Amino acid sequence: DTGVSQDPRHKITKRGQNVTFRCDPISEHNRLYWYRQTLGQGPEFLTYFQNEAQLEKSRLLSDRFSAERPKGSFSTLEIQRTEQGDSAMYLCASSLAGGQGDYGYTFGSGTRLTVV
């Protein structure tokens, strides 16, 4: 297991199109997170899963965004009817949370989305 993988690394799409990103977490990790990061800013929380259950979703996330984590393994993030304001780096992270405490995230390299 070489860490958190994200695909694709870069995506350029026309406004109005749908896009889907994939994240493969570290296999032992039970939590998976999606963040969005714009230039010069810190990561902004979008949503997270514990195993296959989506436990929290940011109020900033519009209805155009949906995420899934079937079977508690990989996750997908879909953006429908993309807008120019969706242009950002989309980061996936995974962690092992539980009785031994919080050990922090392992981040993927991100998917950079450009909406033209």
Partner 1 sequence: AQTVTQSQPEMSVQEAETVTLSCTYDTSESNYYLFWYKQPPSRQMILVIRQEAYKQQNATENRFSVNFQKAAKSFSLKISDSQLGDTAMYFCAFSGSNQFYFGTGTSLTVIP
Question: Which residues make up the interface to partner 1 (CB under 8 A)?
Answer: 33, 40-45, 48, 55-56, 91, 101-110
Q: Residue 41 corresponds to which tokens in the numbers above?
A: 């800013």
d(CA 6, CA 21): 7
Q: Choose between 40 and 70: whose C-beta lies nearer to partner 1.
A: 40
CB of 112 to partner 1, least distance (A): 9
Nearer to partner 1, 44 or 80 (CB): 44
Smallest distance, partner 1 to C-beta of residue 87, A: 16
User: Residue 19 or 110: which CB sits closer to partner 1?
Assistant: 110
Judged by beta carbon, residue 5 or residue 13, the one nearer partner 1 is 5
Nearest approach in angstroms of CB 43 to partner 1 is 5
CB 55 within 8 A of CB 48: yes
In angstroms, what is the minimal distance from the CB of 18 to partner 1?
A: 26
Return the beta strands (E) in 1-116 as ranges: 5-7, 10-13, 19-24, 31-37, 44-50, 53-57, 65-68, 75-79, 88-95, 106-107, 111-115
Whole-number Å distance between alpha carbons of 5 and 81:
25
